[in-house]
Amino acid sequence: MANTSSLVFAGIAPHPPIMVPEVGQESIAEVRSSIDAMAELAERLTASGAETVVIISPHAPLDPAAFVAYEGPQLYGDFANFRAPTASALAELDEGLLNEISRTAANQKLEVLRIRGFDLDHGTLVPLYFLQRNGWQGRLVALGYNFLSNEEHVRFGNCIRRAIDEIGRPVGFVASGDLSHRLRPEAPAGYHPKAHLFDEAVVDAIRTCSTGRIVNIDHELRRTAGECGFRSMLVALGVAQGLEPSCEVISYEAPFGVGYMVAQLVSAGRGSRPVAVASASRAPSSFGAELPALARLTIETFITTGTVITPPENASDLLSARAACFVTIKMSNGDLRGCIGTIEPVEDTLAEELIGNAIKSATRDPRFPPLRANELPNLKYSVDVLSAPEPAQLEDLDPNQYGVIVEEEGGTNRGLLLPHLEGVDTVAKQLEITYRKAGITPGTPVKLFRFRADRYSE
């Protein structure tokens, strides 16, 4: 199925102002993955040949029953409200396209209300800032949604697509929206242990090109997540409906307890490219976000109250499986603060395994004193889920693909090193460290085992 529409690109972008260097300053290190992904999205959109971009934002002025559109002739916004007045973006309104969108929507009994005298909201401004800073130049249509039903938001997306095809010029579409706002205790909307399920549902639907599932996400789950952008995505789904998809989650992270996703839905113009496939040994951070969240909750609860939490009810398939894992704690500067795990599972579920290893990592790593409560705000967590070890020869090892276990003949001493660690880029280095950890003298006869580890990080 070939795409014949004038819609040449459709994607989803987050909008935290902290991503903007003038706003975030040194804190941009926390959202580097999203910043890099926005540069990639801008490159793809530019390569598609899009002359105009339509952006729909959750933070435009809201009308309960009408979609809103910023009136031109020029659309401007800055980050003065975020203490960065010199950071701004300016674009010319595509009046012709906006007129056609309004006309097409009216034929479907959907109203587009023009708004005057407003600067662009940050939900529009952040994606526009990154598009322009990374090379895209063109005209803009900036929209906002309302309280109408899911179906009517999808239908409005259909109207936008018909308008794009009617004018016959290449147009890109960006749905601005963050995901859950309740992924960590310090998140701006508070913490909810099931909030991660919303992000996982969205990310998995896009990754598997089953985007229709997003429309049917349970309303109560959306409320629980405190999401910001669901309706933007619905409009994007309507815009892309009927076209050959090229879905990809370019990036997902949740450094402040809010889910930031950069994704592609359609790339049909010149410059479209095959979807990159993530390495299986590095689990994409979008799937399994509940693992580091559970490690954080376990450790913060135990250190502050002495209580061992129980595994979450209705745990995901991943947490319900039986597997070994390592829990790693790092300080904000990247230094290690604790790492303990199991080579083979000792509990019935990964959730139980993780909870036990998290507490040991925080309190029993012999290299460090037990964690103190005043350290908790400055820690990050990751969880490595291990495959079953398999016997290996020296030539079978690869520190970027496999972790290694060295076991002294007779099983007296044994050491393990996880894969894809910074600074461990050769087999010789990997073995040197593992021998040292195990207390085995180099040259001692050993058995070698290798394993894969899927890493889930905050």
Instruction: Give yes or no for a contact between 407 and 391, defined as CB atoms under 8 angstroms apart.
Output: no
**Which has the higher per-residue pLDDT, 274 or 39?**
39
CB atoms within 10 A of CB 364: 12
| Predicted pLDDT of residue 21 | 94
Q: Tell me the average pLDDT across 19-23.
A: 95
CA–CA dist 351, 323 (Å, integer)? 9
Q: Where are the beta strands (DSSP E) in 49-170?
A: 52-57, 67-70, 74-79, 84-92, 112-115, 139-144
- Kindly report, as residue ranges, where domains of CATH 3.30.700.20 are found in the chain: 290-457
Of the two residues 287 and 148, the one the predictor is more confident about is 148
Q: CATH for 290-457? A: 3.30.700.20
With bands split at pLDDT 50, 70 and 90, how would you rate the model's confidence at 411? low
Question: Within 13 A of 426's CA, how many CA atoms are on the CB side?
Answer: 3
Q: Could you tell me where the beta strands, DSSP code E, fall in 288-333?
A: 324-331
Give the count of alpha carbons within 13 A of 448, CB side only. Answer: 18
What pLDDT is stored for residue 280 in this prediction? 30
Please spell the DSSP secondary structure of 409-452, one letter per residue: TTSS-EEEE-SS-TT--SHHHHHHHHHHHHTPPTTS-EEEEEE-
Q: Phi and psi at residue 253, in whole multiples of 5°?
A: -155, 165
Report for 119-123, 200-204, 380-384: range of highest mean pLDDT: 119-123
| Euclidean distance between CA atoms 253 and 131, whole angstroms | 20
Fold of 7-267: Protocatechuate 4,5-dioxygenase; Chain B (3.40.830)
pLDDT tens column, 314-347:
777 788 888 899 999 999 888 999 999 998 899 9
Candidate from 141-150, 232-241, 373-382, 417-426 with smallest mean pLDDT = 417-426
pLDDT class for 52, splitting at 50, 70, 90?
very high
Structure confidence at residue 276 (pLDDT): 31
What average pLDDT does the segment 390-404 reach? 89
Instruction: Identify which has the larger pLDDT, 318 or 33.
Output: 33
Listed ranges 1-5, 124-128, 418-422; the one with the highest mean pLDDT: 124-128
In the prediction, which pLDDT does 269 show? 46
Residues 3-29 have a mean pLDDT of 93
CATH 3.40.830.10 residue window(s) in the chain = 7-267
For residue 118, the one-letter residue type is F
| Residue 355: partners with Cβ closer than 8 Å, 6 or more residues away | 294, 298, 308, 309, 311
pLDDT of residue 284 exceeding 90: no
Mean pLDDT of 367-383: 93
Task: Convert the pLDDT of each residue in 56-111 to its tens digit.
Answer: 999 999 999 999 999 999 999 999 999 999 999 999 999 999 999 999 999 999 99
Give yes or no for residue 282 having a pLDDT over 60: no
Tokens of 243: 């076209």
pLDDT-derived band at 3, boundaries 50, 70, 90:
low
- Is residue 147 classed exposed, middle or buried when 0-12, 13-18 and 19+ CB atoms within 10 A define those classes? exposed
Taking a C-beta distance cutoff of 8 angstroms, is the pair 356, 364 a contact? no
